[in-house]
């Protein structure tokens, strides 16, 4: 999660990359639109997700979502959630989704803050990671009576080990959960193609509403499902979603003329699964 704040140059580079990807003909896009449908005839699905179960999510994000009747997906790390147990219990009753974000929040040891702890994903195996993930699910079952269907990869890393011993833990997540969300991706999720165990996640930390809106315009081709991800909620920052930007975004997404269906990660996954079955 510790990456540099997006500069205008980086945003420009991302937009240029996405523009090269967006090469389908108008007729092809129209065909995809008619082959796949979202509720209320929306053009795209979108989910608002937040990592770690940070206190500002209880204090700022959830009251804001509740104000507009929006349900978010919150990926829980027990060490954070323990500080506000009653708040998270209330969030569950209000209909927000809680997902699994591991107990250790282990990422690559390339992050200095992890090296200081002496352990990174390079030093563990799949058995170790399974136990770490299971302990979070057990915590959520005991504290919130929730068996999570969704998972978010800490730092977006999806591996364990080093060199020739590297193993993907995507198959483990596919076995244990309906969905697994990554981080800092450059595309949305094509509903007829995307792998539920490797759902693309796009940052909303450190961005203005106009920047998020511009990003959505470039991500939404082919009926894509867009999953925005953030951490703290309050003032704009490297790992913080600006409260005013979030409120403006919710208003924008709820306006029917803009063509978005706003729902939790599991709600959208269930809908896409049903559509695929047809």
Residue that is written with structure tokens 């999806």 in the block: 158
Beta-carbon contacts of residue 139 (< 8 Å; ≥ 6 apart): 76, 78, 81, 103
pLDDT of residue 138: 98
Average pLDDT, the chain: 91
List Cβ<8 Å contacts ≥24 apart for 115-122: 121/157, 121/159, 121/160, 121/161, 122/160, 122/161, 122/162
Would the pLDDT of 21 be above 60?
no
H/E run at residue 230: strand 225-230
- The C-alpha atoms of residue 223 and residue 97 are separated, in whole angstroms, by 23
The residue count of the chain comes to 278
Band of pLDDT at residue 12, cut at 50, 70 and 90: low
Tell me the HSE value of 277 on the side-chain side, using a 13 A CA sphere: 6
- The C-alpha atoms of residue 44 and residue 48 are separated, in whole angstroms, by 13
Mean pLDDT of 208-233: 97
Delineate the domains of the chain, giving CATH numbers in brackets: 66-277 (3.20.20.370)
pLDDT of residue 115: 79
pLDDT of residue 114: 83
Band of pLDDT at residue 186, cut at 50, 70 and 90: very high
pLDDT of residue 28: 44
Would the pLDDT of 40 be above 50?
yes
- The C-alpha atoms of residue 240 and residue 150 are separated, in whole angstroms, by 22
> How many Cβ atoms are within 10 Å of 69's Cβ, its own excluded?
10
pLDDT of residue 118: 79
Identify the weakest region by mean pLDDT among 104-118, 142-156, 169-183, 203-217.
104-118
Beta carbons of 74 and 48 less than 8 angstroms apart: no
Q: Which residues of 37-66 are buried (b: 16+ CB within 10 A; e: fewer)?
A: bbeeebbbbbbbbbbbbbebbbebbbebbb
Residue with the bigger pLDDT between 222 and 164: it is 164
Percent share of the chain, pLDDT over 90: 83
Identify the weakest region by mean pLDDT among 13-22, 86-95, 239-248.
13-22
Would the pLDDT of 5 be above 90?
no
pLDDT of residue 11: 54
Angle of the 209-219 helix axis to the 8-21 helix axis, nearest 10 = 20
H/E run at residue 48: strand 44-52
Would the pLDDT of 61 be above 50?
yes
């Amino acid at each position: 999660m510790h990456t540099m704040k997006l500069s205008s140059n980086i945003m420009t580079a991302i937009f240029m990359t996405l523009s090269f990807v967006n090469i389908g003909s108008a007729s092809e896009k129209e065909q995809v639109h008619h082959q796949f449908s979202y509720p209320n005839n929306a053009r795209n699905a979108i989910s608002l997700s937040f990592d770690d179960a940070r206190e500002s999510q209880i204090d700022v994000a959830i009251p804001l979502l509740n104000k507009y009747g929006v349900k978010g997906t919150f990926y829980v790390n027990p060490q954070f959630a323990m500080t506000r147990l009653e708040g998270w219990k209330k969030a569950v009753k209000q209909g927000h989704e809680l997902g699994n974000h591991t107990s250790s929040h282990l990422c690559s040891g390339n992050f200095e803050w992890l090296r200081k702890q002496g352990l990174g994903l390079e030093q563990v195996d799949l058995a170790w990671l399974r136990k770490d993930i299971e302990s979070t699910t057990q915590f959520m079952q005991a504290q919130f009576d929730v068996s999570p269907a969704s998972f978010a990869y800490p730092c977006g890393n999806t591996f364990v080990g080093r060199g020739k011993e590297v193993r993907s833990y995507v198959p483990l997540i596919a076995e244990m959960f309906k969905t697994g969300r990554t981080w800092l991706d450059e595309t949305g999720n094509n509903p007829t193609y995307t792998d539920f165990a490797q759902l693309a996640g796009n940052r909303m930390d450190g961005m203005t509403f106009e920047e998020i809106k511009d990003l959505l315009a470039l991500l939404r081709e082919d009926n894509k499902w867009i999953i925005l991800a953030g951490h703290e909620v309050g003032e704009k920052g490297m790992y913080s979603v600006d409260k005013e930007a979030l409120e403006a975004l919710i208003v924008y997404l709820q306006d029917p003329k803009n063509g978005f269906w706003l729902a939790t990660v599991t709600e959208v996954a269930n809908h896409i699964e049903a559509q695929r079955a047809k």
